[in-house]
Each structure stands twice: as structure tokens, then as C-alpha cells.
Amino acid sequence: MAVILIVEDDVFTREIAELMIQDWGHHTLSASDVDEALTLLRSPQTIDALFTDIYLKTAVLGGCELANQAIKLRPKLRVLYTTGNCITDKMKALFAEGTHFLPKPYTQHQLQDSVEDLLAA
């Protein structure tokens, strides 16, 4: 059982991801933007993995910036990125080392496989 921080600015998408991940026995924390996520990451709360949208309304490349800051705060944190937008090579260069990517839209099975792969890494 892991604690996964979900950062997604779309409420519906965030809630669906939370429900699916909780159904597999994991605990979830959620944030709608980079600031909320960083507040949780700076807290003593256990967080095993970060599942973040790359494009957050409050920041260009918010998910990439967030992941890089999160790994500085928690070096062993595992990161799973998601987006429904095109990913360029320049964008991939911003990904934190050792991260994973799941394109939107994703199915419950795809999310579960990605989360399991992430936690096993």
C-alpha cells in the first residue's frame, strides 16, 4: 500500500483517478495546483509517489517544475506524468530522471499498470 499524491487541475479527472487508485488499496492525497502540492510535499506526510498532469492551468509546464522541486524535497519520490497534449523532445528533456509517462485519456487498466510499474521501480 502506497501514498500517492495526485496533482490535477481538472476536478473530475482528479476525483476519478483518486477513486481508481484507492480501489487498489492505496491512499491518495490530492492537489489542484503546484502550490497545494508543494505544501503537502513539505509536510511530514508520507508520500511514496507523485502522479501529476504536465500542463496545470496555474503554471506553464507546471507538472515538470513540480516534479523537479518535489524530487529535491524527497529524493526517493517516484513520478508518473500525464497529459492529453503532445509531448515534444524538448518537453521530455524536462522530465525528472526515472519518471514514467501515461498519456490521456487513459483507461482504468492503463492507470493501474502504470501505477504498479511506478511503484515497482
Give the model's pLDDT for residue 5: 98
- pTM for this entry: 0.91
Query: Structural domain tally of the chain?
Result: 1
- Short-list 65, 45, 39, 38, CA closest to 53: 65
pLDDT at 71: 93
**pLDDT per residue as tens, the chain (121 positions):** 999 999 999 999 999 999 999 999 999 999 999 999 999 999 999 999 999 998 887 665 588 889 889 999 999 999 999 988 877 776 776 676 667 999 999 999 999 999 999 999 8
User: Do 7 and 33 form a contact (C-beta atoms < 8 A)?
Assistant: yes
- Which CATH number is 36's domain given? 3.40.50.2300
b/e code 64-86 from CB counts within 10 Å (16+ = b):
bbbbbbbbeebeebbbbbbbeee
The parent domain of residue 23 ranges over 3-120
Q: In a 3-state reduction of DSSP, which class is residue 47?
A: coil
